Amino acid sequence: MRRVRYESTGGPLLLEEAPVPEPGPGELLVRCEAVGVTLPVVRKVTEAAEPIPLGGETAGEVVAVGDAVTRFRVGERVTGLCFGHGYADFALLHEAMASPVPDGASAVDAVTLVRSGLVALGALEAAHPEPGETALVTAAASGVGHLAVQLAKVRGATRVVGAVSDAGKAHFVRSLGAHEVVTYGDDSWGDPVDYALDAVGGELLAPAVAALAPGGRLVAYSSGGGTIQAYDLLVGAKSVIGFQMARIARGKPELYERRRQELWRLFTEGALRPAVHGEFALEDAAKAHAVIESRRNLGKVVLRP
């Protein structure tokens, strides 16, 4: 099979031939039809001290199962998070991390909707939104952000502000249902909001906190770091909530499954529209990474083995 790897931090992505892996206990071997490209994986290529397997969201057909697998059979279509080599023709998924792809949905729909949607929905729920409140979503054109904009409206937000890196993304974000679009460098992000979902971190944390109304909540789910001054929270009785998807996946499997089902329901009803920026062949993985690194993507970036 073909597989993408790299040999050193920041090094080029290489396409190589590798043996098809054997599924171990509790594992599924999946013929990959679509692989989601995520910012955390792109960052690891450029920042990790040691080369790592390029994993991530995968969707395709189960072609073999390991011992003790009970929920899936050969021939079924699944999606899930691959912790090993996922940029490949075949990948291994742990059964606990896999979910079925319903009839009528494509593999691209699955990798665009499920993992990114779970992050978006989880971050939104961490904000404890109430109908009639107002929301801010940073990285609003990203794979997660474009779903968060839509989910905030589903949860009853009467005003959703999308924050983006480039004004050229405004039309796309408005097409998702955002009422207003601001860019990170704007002097003002408009009227204060009740809660903000931040996927960027770093220097954007301060303006995101400043955009909150008194009593507002900021949910931080970025791997980008950053610092917030306690005084900025104190004077407005504001709060910051950290959200991590892995905590839900590992510690609350029933909640994880309920949210997956909710995402598919919203998709089937037409209330949630996953958008794909582009589809790239495995040999063009570097081009896919470049789109993410340059923040050019409008929606999800997908590899098609």
Q: What is the DSSP string of the chain?
A: -EEEE-SSTTPPPEEEE-PPPPP-TTEEEEEEEEEEE-HHHHHHHHH-SS-----EEEEEEEEEE-TT--S--TT-EEEEEESS--SBSEEEEEGGGEEEPPTT--HHHHHHHHHHHHHHHHHHHHT---TT-EEEEESTTSTTHHHHHHHHHHTT-SEEEEEES-GGGHHHHHHTT-SEEEETT-S---S-EEEEEES--GGGHHHHHHTEEEEEEEEE--SS-----HHHHHTTT-EEEE--HHHHHHH-HHHHHHHHHHHHHHHHHTS----EEEEE-GGGHHHHHHHHHTT--SSEEEE--
Q: How many domains does the chain have?
A: 2
Residues 171 and 63 reside in one and the same domain: no
What would the pLDDT profile of 44-91 be if each residue is shown by its tens digit? 899 888 999 999 899 999 999 999 999 999 999 999 989 999 999 999
270 found inside a domain:
no
CATH number at residue 30: 3.90.180.10
Residues 84 and 138 reside in one and the same domain: no
At 304, is the pLDDT very low, low, confident or very high (cuts 50, 70, 90)? Answer: very high
- pLDDT recorded at residue 96: 85
Domain limits for position 206: 117-245
What is this structure's pTM? 0.91
267 found inside a domain:
no
At 225, is the pLDDT very low, low, confident or very high (cuts 50, 70, 90)? Answer: confident
Residues 96 and 121 reside in one and the same domain: no
- pLDDT recorded at residue 40: 85
23 found inside a domain:
yes
